Structure 1
Amino acid sequence: MSQVWIFPFIIAGGILQAAGAPINGALKASLVNPWLASGVSFLLVTFLAIALFFMQPTPLPTLDDLRSMKWWAPLGGIVGAVAVFAGLTLVQKVGVGTLNGLTICANLVASVAIDHFGLIGVAEHPISVLRLIGTVLMMAGVALVMRF
């Protein structure tokens, strides 16, 4: 991917993610069972990923790649499932702004901690006063969205 598309792609992903909770909430309302709705949602993602894999099947991991993989590396989908399940079951109770605001704020706080301590295999990126101020401002902004 060209460097010029990185930030617009991330922004588009964020916009789509904001719409994901109410879309999944509508799916849950129609299918009634939250586990069935989650399954349908992830089944579609699985089919898309498989189709994209068949369109571009290389590179493939070597045995050494698989042997050196961290035990927790395949768990990202389960982590994402928690956010999807929270969205489809709670968006109608708290609203999209509150749900996504809390999600994004929690994500930012955890991300700053992960960067600072170099957790989960990322390079250390120590917290600075400005990053801390930005995190606090984000928390204040979410509190305002929730309050008003």
Structure 2
Amino acid sequence: MNAGWIFPFIILGGALQTCGAAMNGQLNKSLANPYLASTVSFLVITFFFMALFFAVPHPLPTIANLREMPWWAVFGGLVGAVQVFAGLTLVNKVGTGNFMALTVSAALITSLVVDHFGWFRMDIHPITLTKLGGAVLLITGVVFITRR
């Protein structure tokens, strides 16, 4: 991917995350069962990526890649499923603004901690006063957004 498209693609993903939460909330409302709605949501994702994999099957992992993979790496999707389930069941109760404000702030603050300590084999990026100030501003913004 061209480096000039990285930030716009990430921004698009963030914007679509808001749309996805609202869409999943409606899916849950229509199907009346959050477990069925989650299953439908993930089946669509699974078929989409299976089609992409069959269209572009290379590269494939080597035995060395698989041996070096940490045991917890395969659970990233399951962790993401918690967010999808939360969106399915809660976005209609709190609204997309509140839901995304809380989601994004929790993700950003957690990411600062993950980067600071290098968890999950991430490169270490220490928390600075500037980053800490940004987190405080973020939390302040969330308080304003979520107030009724």
User: For the superposition of Structure 1 and Structure 2, which TM-score range results when normalised by the shorter chain?
Assistant: over 0.9
Distance in 2 (alpha carbons) for counterparts of 1:127 and 1:22? 33
**TM-score scaled by structure 2?**
0.98
CA–CA distance in structure 2, aligned partners of residues 111 and 121 of structure 1 = 13
Q: Which residue of 1 aligns with 2:50?
A: 50
Equivalent pairs, count: 148
Tell me the distance in 2 between the aligned counterparts of 1:94 and 1:125.
Answer: 33
CA deviation after TM superposition for structure 1 residue 142, in Å: 0.8
Identical amino acids, percent of aligned pairs: 55
* Structure 1 unmatched runs, 5+: none
Equivalence map 1:32-43=2 (5 Å): 32-43=32-43
Letter of the structure 1 residue corresponding to residue 133 of structure 2: I
Task: Kindly state the Cα deviation for residue 30 of structure 1 after the two structures are TM-superposed.
Answer: 0.7
Q: Whole-Å Cα distance in 2 between the matches of residues 128 and 25 of structure 1? A: 37
Question: RMSD value over aligned CA atoms?
Answer: 0.7
Structure 1 residue 53, shift from structure 2 partner: 0.5
Instruction: List alignment gaps of at least 5 residues for structure 2.
Output: none
Counterpart for residue 107 of structure 1:
107
Equivalent residue runs for 1:1-148 within 5 Å: 1-148=1-148
TM-score, normalising length: structure 1? 0.98
- CA displacement at 1:66 relative to structure 2: 0.7
Moved >3 Å (runs of 4+): none
Q: CA deviation at 1:39?
A: 0.3
